[in-house]
Amino acid sequence: MPTVLITGANRGIGLEFARQYVADGWRVIAACREPARAQSLLDCLPAADVVPLDVTDTASIRGLAAALAGQSIDVLIANAGVMSAHPKSHPLDIADEAWLTDFRVNAMGALRVAAAFAPHVAAGRERKLIAISSLLGSIGSNGMGGHYSYRASKTALNALWRSFAVDHPELIAVTLSPGLLRTDMTRYESAWDQLNDPAPRVGLLRGVIAALTAADSGSAMSFSGEKMPW
């Protein structure tokens, strides 16, 4: 039975990944900040191993990596993410704490998770290390502006993942952009009800992950499997 570890698995895109991998017969290690409060996850997925993980807390990351020592992970999905400022915020109105939180979770947290679990992933059959990034992290695709702190943190994530791929040729490390989806993160959208449901998109993302080869490592890809401009 293949194993996937998903961060931020208690809601949104992470929960949908967990649901779909469980349905496919995978062992799912569903990491979330507060397992006791992860009611949807606990109710829907009794088959998942729900474990605590705060990606901004290095001790928490090290603790889970130690608890899983000797266990292989085929696919790790660094999905946990935040958007701490409204996308249209004026730069002078974005508090330092919002900038730092976006960087702590989206960039530094994901990299630390990658570093802690690289040995587990290297021991897996698939050796795939996936970060959920964003189209907003692509400088070359930016025709919209705004989203300052979030955008910068995802650009940083892409840069960090590329570096990690160079340093770890034994792994397939790729960032994936899921596109705009209806989750708690996007509640600022005026037509939120009409946004795409995460389920079909996560199905596409799982297809992209399944098709990744060593030649893809170090790239940033969209949910349709196309390489994205940096």
Ligand X SMILES: NC(=O)c1ccc[n+]([C@@H]2O[C@H](COP(=O)([O-])OP(=O)(O)OC[C@H]3O[C@@H](n4cnc5c(N)ncnc54)[C@H](OP(=O)(O)O)[C@@H]3O)[C@@H](O)[C@H]2O)c1
* Comparison of 90 and 187: residue with beta carbon closer to ligand X: 187
- Tell me the C-alpha distance between 36 and 47, whole Å: 16
Q: CA torsion sign, 48 to 133 to 126 to 62? A: negative
DSSP class of 65: H
DSSP 115-147: HHHHHHHHTSSS-EEEEE--GGG-STT--S---
Please report how close the Cβ of residue 169 comes to ligand X at its closest, in angstroms. Answer: 25
Please report how close the Cβ of residue 85 comes to ligand X at its closest, in angstroms. Answer: 13
Helices 110-122, 58-67: inter-axial angle, 10-degree rounding: 10
* Comparison of 70 and 145: residue with beta carbon closer to ligand X: 145
* Comparison of 67 and 214: residue with beta carbon closer to ligand X: 67
Helices 110-122, 148-167: inter-axial angle, 10-degree rounding: 30
Binding site for ligand X (CB under 6 A): 7-8, 10-14, 32-34, 53-56, 79-82, 105, 109, 132, 134, 178, 180-181, 183-186
* Comparison of 152 and 185: residue with beta carbon closer to ligand X: 185
- Tokens describing residue 135: 């189209």
Q: What H or E segment, with its residue span, contains residue 163?
A: helix 148-167
Please report how close the Cβ of residue 205 comes to ligand X at its closest, in angstroms. Answer: 10
3-state secondary structure of 203: helix
Please report how close the Cβ of residue 125 comes to ligand X at its closest, in angstroms. Answer: 25
Please report how close the Cβ of residue 146 comes to ligand X at its closest, in angstroms. Answer: 14
Please report how close the Cβ of residue 81 comes to ligand X at its closest, in angstroms. Answer: 2
* Comparison of 53 and 212: residue with beta carbon closer to ligand X: 53
* Comparison of 34 and 96: residue with beta carbon closer to ligand X: 34
Alpha-carbon radius of gyration of the chain: 16
